[in-house]
Structure 1
Amino acid sequence: MDSPWDEEAGPHAIRDSEWSRISNEFTTAGYREGITAGKEAALQEGFDAGFATVGVPIGREIGILRGVISALLSYVSLHGENLPGGESTLIEVRSIASQLSNIRFADIAPRDLEAEEHAREHLEMVDEDAETENEELVQKRAMEGLEDMLASLGSGPDPHFPAQQRKPTMEDVGTLKERTLSLCALMKLDVHWS
């Protein structure tokens, strides 16, 4: 008989069988840990690259722009009547501030096609029969829909910013930056964008 408990097998057969079983378990566990570690390393590498090349530069640009326009708004609100352009300068600063408040990172960041494809594959693997969406994605879309609806309740489109009828882009951010720098030049304010 082939049973390790068979008297004819002897102690060496039992030891070899146990060794083989333990070896297989450790090999399987090691394989799983290796895959997990590989995925984590690739994930970290992807995060680091995206953070450095997309997140930080875009976030920094928007942050500086919002900070400058916020300071201009405060300054113009206090000294509006004594500024070149008077009321029109205040209107322009408010217009830029309003448009900046409607810009979301998700609107202006480049699409991550690789991540989108991975998410689609993952959803297909989780439940190939049902056409369900990830709950987090559903909530994100619902929130963006509410934000879009609130944005459309404003006082109408700004003639300087036709992007209000669509999602903003990085080109729109560049336009807002140019308008802000023009205002700073008009008011003889020296702004260093670094």
Structure 2
Amino acid sequence: MDTDDFHDVSHSLSHSQGGVSDPLVDTEYARLQQRYTDAGYREGIGEGKLSTLQSGFDEGFATSVPPARTVGQLRGRAAALLAIALSQEPSQESSHESSQEVQSLRALVADLAAVRRDDVLAPDHEAVAHEAEHHDADDYAFEYDRNERRDMEGLERGMEGIGGRKEGLREEALLASLETRVDEAEARVLA
């Protein structure tokens, strides 16, 4: 029984559980340090992504909302003018003029309905370069979820070169032209 280490006090003090020389303390410290480092790294990445996303959203919102709002206002004004023109009972002599005005307003409403976001927003050259750099030409753009409307826009874009829609005014020039047409129609209808 003299060889039993269980009662050896000197051995017990040198490797006491939780003491400075306990190997489990070093292992546990390293594990905790790594865990907090990883958590801090993840939080930093998350915060960085959020700040980047927020600034991207703010920039996109500031760029796209004013033209989209203008198009919406023009569509509403043109539709209201058409409703007013249709509700007015023309006299015998102004029947032809009234019919021409209704046709003109219908054409204006149709032109406004045909305006797409790509027509009034400047192309995002950074996004186009990113797409070209990271995706094959055969891949669908990942920016938007596919839906029936976007598929139709893609089909319309494909038909543009075959005599469909002609390249015309874009962005501010298109908005200014449409606004002038609505203002002129408003002056005629409400006169």
Tell me if TM exceeds 0.5: yes
Task: Tell me which residue corresponds to 1:91.
Answer: 103
Hey, what's the Cα distance between the residues in 2 that align with 1:104 and 1:23? Answer: 54
Say whether 1:187 aligns with 2:169. no
Shift of 1:119: 4.8
Say whether 1:139 aligns with 2:151. no
Matches within 5 A, 1:34-183: 34-51=44-61, 53-79=62-88, 81-82=90-91, 85-119=97-131, 123=134, 132-134=139-141, 139=146, 142-147=151-156, 164-166=165-167, 169-170=170-171, 171-183=173-185
**SS of residue paired to 2:122:** coil
Hey, what's the Cα distance between the residues in 2 that align with 1:77 and 1:149? Answer: 36
Shift of 1:148: 5.1
**SS of residue paired to 1:86:** helix
Hey, what's the Cα distance between the residues in 1 that align with 2:177 and 2:67? Answer: 14
Shift of 1:136: 6.5
Task: Tell me which residue corresponds to 2:34.
Answer: 24
Hey, what's the Cα distance between the residues in 1 that align with 2:34 and 2:177? Answer: 62
Hey, what's the Cα distance between the residues in 2 that align with 1:24 and 1:114? Answer: 38
Amino acid at match of 1:113: H
Gaps of 5+ in 1: 1-6, 158-163, 190-194
**8 Å contact from structure 2 (residues 67, 121) kept in 1:** yes
- Identity of counterpart residues, as a percentage? 31
Q: Deviations over 1:71-124 (max 9, x none)?
A: 011111222735694222112111110011111223321222333444555x46
Hey, what's the Cα distance between the residues in 1 that align with 2:142 and 2:75? Answer: 32
Amino acid at match of 1:106: D
Shift of 1:62: 0.8
**8 Å contact from structure 1 (residues 73, 94) kept in 2:** yes
Hey, what's the Cα distance between the residues in 1 that align with 2:176 and 2:70? Answer: 9
**8 Å contact from structure 1 (residues 107, 167) kept in 2:** no
173-182 or 140-149, which moves further after superposition? 140-149
Gaps of 5+ in 2: 1-11
Shift of 1:27: 0.6
Shift of 1:149: 7.4
Hey, what's the Cα distance between the residues in 1 that align with 2:118 and 2:99? Answer: 34
Distance change >3 Å, CA 27–CA 74, structure 1 → 2: same
Hey, what's the Cα distance between the residues in 2 that align with 1:33 and 1:167? Answer: 48
**8 Å contact from structure 1 (residues 102, 151) kept in 2:** no
What's the TM-score, normalizing by structure 1? 0.68
Larger radius of gyration: 2
